[in-house]
């Protein structure tokens, strides 16, 4: 992996021209063996010719297939598990010989939870002709800055973790799960299915997740008329003491409590609910719980804890993913976020391997838009990107399903037969 600590804020156009000129100078100097200054006109002609034939196509002729991940790293950051998942997929695919003999190569840009910096990362990707796509972007509000840049550059944003409307509506974005609403939507579906009449939702107070709660109330809950959200408990992201928010969540004796903030707050909140004597159903998104949590801070606190998962853990898809993580990212403590980028890198490899001729950004974007009946080996229902969803504001929510995961012997398991529930329709599909 190539990691850039400094983000270049120059425009995409400026960087593209700069790269072409460097390549043009190198080519002339090598071929003619004379200083470029004597042939300014010839140098300009070469630069124009290279631009016309696409620097990215020349750079990709037989070389590595390069992509960028725009996501955070480290505890408490958005998308912290995205990078390990992508790296595991890269290593696994390259170990099998790559894509038609060409290796995958990943570049990482960390937006550090700053939407403006996320935009700078996108400009960096757009300005580097050798980067063909982005994979696994997790921006928590940076989509408004990132997606227009990628659209203008004709780049696919594969397996973006959707947080804001721009992520569900950009023609460059191809999601593999519902994104930020998945934990809340899945938790609501699970509680409704278990007969809850009222339940409390606990989240953090950031615009993207407040929008997610609106999504759940307006689009998910109408499918379950016997269940309603009676209260929202919103915590500031910097909360260190969850006690007052736990007390508020318990007030009114709800049938269930959906805990869907970040991992750093979900774990202590669940512990505190049980310590306060709440014995009802607690649901949380599987994306915020790592296997290590079950034998660590959640040990003894998992009775009646149900996880809303976006991906089935029963089947070949999960087995392959878990094996690759164990082999190539053995020190990573990962959640379902890692599955998002794992699928995304495999999708990039799949479409790249079926393109005849030079690989270009436009070719990858077109191939993704035509991809249908794509198998994730049981992680999700087969994915279809050829038809946008008929949901105003969420046309790129290609896979709005959830599965009900349980905790058994300090492991997260998906019971068989696997039942995928469409959170927008209530329809169930067994695999």
Is 0.85 topped by the overall pTM? no
pLDDT exceeds cutoff 80 at 3? no
Residue 156, SS3 per DSSP: strand
pLDDT value at residue 274:
95
227 and 354 assigned to the same domain:
no
CA distance 376 to 99: 18
Q: Of 308, 233, 310, which is closest to residue 272 (Cα–Cα)?
A: 233
Q: How many CB atoms lie within 10 A of CB 407?
A: 20
pLDDT value at residue 313:
96
220 and 299 assigned to the same domain:
yes
pLDDT digits 0-9 by tens, 157-180: 999 999 888 999 999 999 999 988
How many domains does the structure of the chain reveal?
3
58 lies in a domain? no
370 lies in a domain? yes
45 and 78 assigned to the same domain:
no
382 lies in a domain? yes
197 and 243 assigned to the same domain:
yes
394 and 425 assigned to the same domain:
no
256 and 216 assigned to the same domain:
yes
305 lies in a domain? yes
393 and 421 assigned to the same domain:
no
59 lies in a domain? no
418 and 269 assigned to the same domain:
yes
CA distance 204 to 259: 10
CA distance 346 to 55: 25
- Segment 58-62 long-range contacts (CB within 8 Å, at least 24 positions apart): 58/23, 59/129, 59/130, 60/130, 60/132, 60/358, 60/359, 60/360, 61/358, 62/102
57 lies in a domain? no
Q: Of 54, 24, 26, 46, which is closest to residue 129 (Cα–Cα)?
A: 54
pLDDT value at residue 70:
96
86 lies in a domain? yes
State the residue range of the domain holding 110.
65-179+315-398
185 and 305 assigned to the same domain:
yes
The tokens 């992508």 sit on which residue? 86
Cα–Cα distances in Å, from 162 out to 78, 170, 322, 399? 12, 11, 23, 11
Residue 265, SS3 per DSSP: helix
CA distance 97 to 91: 10
Mean of pLDDT over the chain: 84
202 and 304 assigned to the same domain:
yes
353 and 304 assigned to the same domain:
no
2 lies in a domain? no
pLDDT exceeds cutoff 70 at 290? yes
196 and 270 assigned to the same domain:
yes
What CATH code is carried by the domain that includes residue 156?
3.40.50.2300
Task: State phi, psi for 360 to the nearest 5 degrees.
Answer: -130, 165
pLDDT value at residue 417:
93
* In the chain, % of residues over pLDDT 70: 84
Whether 177 contacts 403, CB under 8 Å: no
């Amino acid at each position: 992996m190539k990691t850039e600590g400094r983000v270049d804020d120059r425009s995409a156009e400026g960087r593209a021209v700069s790269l072409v000129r460097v390549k043009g100078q190198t080519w002339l100097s090598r071929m003619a063996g004379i200083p470029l200054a004597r042939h300014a006109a010839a140098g300009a002609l070469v630069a124009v010719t290279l631009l016309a034939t696409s620097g990215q196509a020349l750079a990709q002729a037989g070389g590595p297939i390069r992509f960028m991940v725009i996501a955070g790293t480290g505890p408490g950051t958005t998308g912290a598990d995205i990078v390990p998942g992508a790296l595991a997929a890269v290593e696994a695919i390259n170990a099998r010989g790559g894509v038609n003999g060409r290796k995958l190569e990943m570049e990482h840009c960390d937006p550090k939870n700053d939407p403006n910096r996320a935009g700078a990362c996108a400009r960096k990707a757009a300005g580097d002709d050798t980067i063909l796509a982005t994979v696994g972007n997790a921006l928590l509000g940076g989509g408004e800055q990132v997606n227009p840049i990628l659209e203008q550059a004709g780049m696919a944003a594969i397996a973006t973790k959707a947080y804001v409307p721009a992520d569900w509506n950009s023609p460059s974005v191809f999601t593999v799960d519902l994104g930020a609403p998945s934990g809340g939507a899945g938790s609501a579906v699970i509680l409704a299915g278990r007969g809850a009449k009222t339940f409390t939702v606990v989240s953090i107070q950031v615009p993207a997740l407040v929008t997610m709660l609106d999504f759940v109330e307006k689009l998910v809950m109408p499918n379950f008329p016997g269940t309603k959200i009676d209260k929202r408990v919103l915590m500031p992201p910097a909360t260190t003491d969850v006690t007052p928010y736990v007390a508020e969540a318990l007030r009114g004796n709800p049938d269930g409590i959906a805990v869907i903030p970040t991992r750093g707050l979900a774990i202590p909140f669940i512990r505190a609910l049980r310590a306060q004597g709440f014995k009802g159903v607690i649901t949380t998104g599987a994306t915020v719980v790592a296997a290590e949590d079950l034998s660590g801070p959640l040990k003894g606190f998992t009775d009646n804890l149900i996880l809303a998962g976006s991906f089935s853990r029963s089947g070949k898809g999960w087995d392959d993913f878990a094996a690759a993580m164990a082999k190539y990212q053995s020190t990573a403590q990962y959640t379902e976020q890692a599955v998002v980028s794992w699928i995304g890198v495999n999708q990039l490899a799949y479409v790249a391997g079926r393109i005849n001729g030079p690989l270009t950004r436009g070719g990858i974007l077109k191939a993704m838009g035509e991809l249908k009946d794509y198998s994730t080996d049981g992680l999700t229902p087969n994915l279809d990107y050829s038809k946008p969803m008929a949901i105003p504001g969420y046309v790129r929510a290609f896979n709005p399903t959830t599965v009900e995961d349980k905790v058994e012997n300090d492991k997260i398991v998906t019971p068989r037969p696997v039942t995928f529930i469409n959170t927008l329709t209530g329809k169930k599909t067994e695999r």
